[in-house]
Structure formats: structure tokens, C-alpha cells
Structure 1
Amino acid sequence: MGGGDLNLKKSWHPATLKNQERVWKEERKHAEEQHKIEQMKKELMEERQLQELQRLQEESGQRQRSDRLDWMYAAPNQGAGGGGNADEMEEYLLGKKSVDSLIRDKNSKETVASSAAERFAISNANANNERDIQSKIREDPLLMIKKREQQSLRAIVDNPLKLKELRKEKKDKKKKKKKHEHDHSSHRSSRHHDEDRKRRSRDYDDRESRHRRHDEDDENRKRRRRDHSEDRYDDRRRRRDSDDRRHRVR
């Protein structure tokens, strides 16, 4: 019997060159897709954050809708509403506005800003949940095992010496398999030849045995006939002797 791992002959075994090539192609395709997905996610996240910040500032009345990005580099107290606050203070100093109206406007703006900040915090919490899910996926034991298997297969595929060694092992296994099949066929033919010879010998012995039995039966029949003839002869002779004795007595 030939040695070696019989699983290497299976189509599903990961050590075969065909499966290694398939895994390598799938890994490259998967890596490219993941890179594109991550890039799209990153761009989408940045765009959403930018739109959310712009919307919050527009709702709070701190700025008008604008496509400029200066607000990203401004300090927290130097937003687009800085100029509006200065105008209101100037109107108060000139007596155009009362203190009560100024306080009411300030309170309403703070309320709008606080509600907008809460919505922004909720969106950040959702983003954190998404990151948690992604981290859980990355820390999945089964996924880690699959990644290690893919890394080991990729290391084999990327290593030309290892590939050469695997090809050599595959050729050696094919040679061993052919030799084993040849030896098995030779052994089978030799075994059949021996069986034929034994069968012929048994047939010959059976024929000889039948011939011997037939000869013995013939010999027994002849002997019985001969014995019977001798018995008849003895009977005739005894009768003749008896007749002779009776004549003599008379």
C-alpha cells in the first residue's frame, strides 16, 4: 500500500494548487472590494459629519448656508454667529433693543443649540455603535481563524520555493500512485494466474480421482464375476462328486 495523506487527493483539500490559486484570487478580489468599501465609508462618514455640522449651525441661526469650509478651522466661540452677537450688542448700546429682548434671543438660541448638540451626540453614539460592531466582527474567533488560514495559504502562494516543493510533492505522489496501481495490477494478474493454475490442478485431480474410481469399480465387477464363476464351478464339481459317490454306493 502507498503512503501519504489521502485527503490531498480530494478536490476540496486546501493544499492543492488549484484551490490555492482560487483562494489567492478570491483574497485579492475580497481585499480590493474591502478597500473600496472602506474608502466609500470614510468618504460618506466625512460628508455626513460635514453636512450635520452645517445643518446644526444653520438651525441655530449662527450662519447662513454657505459652501465655504472656514467654520471647520474656527474656535468654538468664533463661529459664524460672532458678527451677529456684535451687531446685537451695538443695537443694545444705541438703545435700539432692550435688555429683555436680548436675553430672550440668547435663551432661544441656546435652546436650539442644545437640542442640535443632543442630536449630534446621538449621531455620534450611532457611529460609536457601528465602530463597536466592527470591532466585534474583527475580534470574532471564527473570523480570526479564517484569516489565519487565509494568511497561511497566501504565504504558501506567495512563496515560490514552497510552491515548487508542493508541485514536486504532487508529482511524487502521482508517481507513487501509478507505481502502486501497476504493482496492484501485477499482483492481481499474478494472483489470477495462480488461481487458474490451482483450478486446473484441482480439475485434473478430480478427473484422475473419477478415473481411479471408475477403474476400481470395473475391477470390483470383474472380481465379483470371477468369484461368481468360481463359485458356480465349485458347485458343479461338488454335485458331480456327489453323484459319483452315489453311483459307487449302488
Structure 2
Amino acid sequence: MALKFLNKKGWHTGSIRNVEKVWKAEQKHEAEQEKIEERSEFRAIQEQAGLVPRRPERLEFLYDPELAVAKQNVSSSRHGVLFQNQDQRARATIPGALFDDDDKRHSANDSWRKFHSDPLLLIRQKEQEIWKFLSLFLYSIHVSCLCFFCKRLRFG
């Protein structure tokens, strides 16, 4: 069955308009990446020449959880660092090394802290407590009403 009519639809990925939009977006993205690279190279050349003061190091590295966990695992001796670098190079050549999570594991304390300090989790826990209380309360009212009607039916 021929489905040539689909590329005339506005939502179809094979329509000329959509292909053109994608191509333009890709070109724009590539141009932006080139500008960013040129600016960073130009800035580095200026810093090396001493024309522009070097940028102060920012504190963003403190908030990187991967770096914090990696610091705990690194040995304090210089030999341990060298062996670790060689081990990392050896692991990088293994197929599928990009998807290896050994370096990105978080400590158990970090995971526990993130889980238990989540405001949405706290809200949901409070909601569950309220629902438990309400369900017990409503159940007790329901039972008391049933008892009342049963007594009324018996004694008329």
C-alpha cells in the first residue's frame, strides 16, 4: 500500500518544510558551537598574552557530586594517583567504557540525604499520614452508624 500522501501532512518528518526546519536548526547550532569555540580560543590567547586578567576559579566544582565521591576514593599517596590514572586509561579503551558508572557512584549518605530531604517526599508522607487518620476516623464513624442502625432495627 502506497503511503506517499503522508509526506504532504504538516506533522510528517519527511515533508520538505520539516526537513528544512531541521536543517536550519542544525546549521544554527553548528554556527553557535563554532562561535563558542572561537571565543574560548581567543580568550585563552588573550590570557596567555597577559592582555586580559585570568578568570577567577569558581566554586561550581564544589557542587559536582561525581568529583566529591572521586576525591574520597583517591589515595593520598602520589603512587596511588599514578596507578589510578593508568587504570583509568586502561578502562577507557574497553568497549562500553563510556557507560561505566564506577566513577559516578554516589555514596550511601548522599543518596539517603537527597532522598529524605526531598520536599515532595515530605509532602507526600504528610498526605499519607492525613489519609490514614481520615480513613480510621471515617471507618469508626461508619461502624458507629452501622451499630446505631442495627440497634434501631432490633428494638424498632
Bigger radius of gyration, 1 or 2?
1
What TM-score, normalized to structure 2? Answer: 0.30
Larger helix percent: 1
Say which structure, 1 or 2, has more relative contact order (CA 8 Å, 6+ apart). Answer: 1
What TM-score, normalized to structure 1? Answer: 0.20
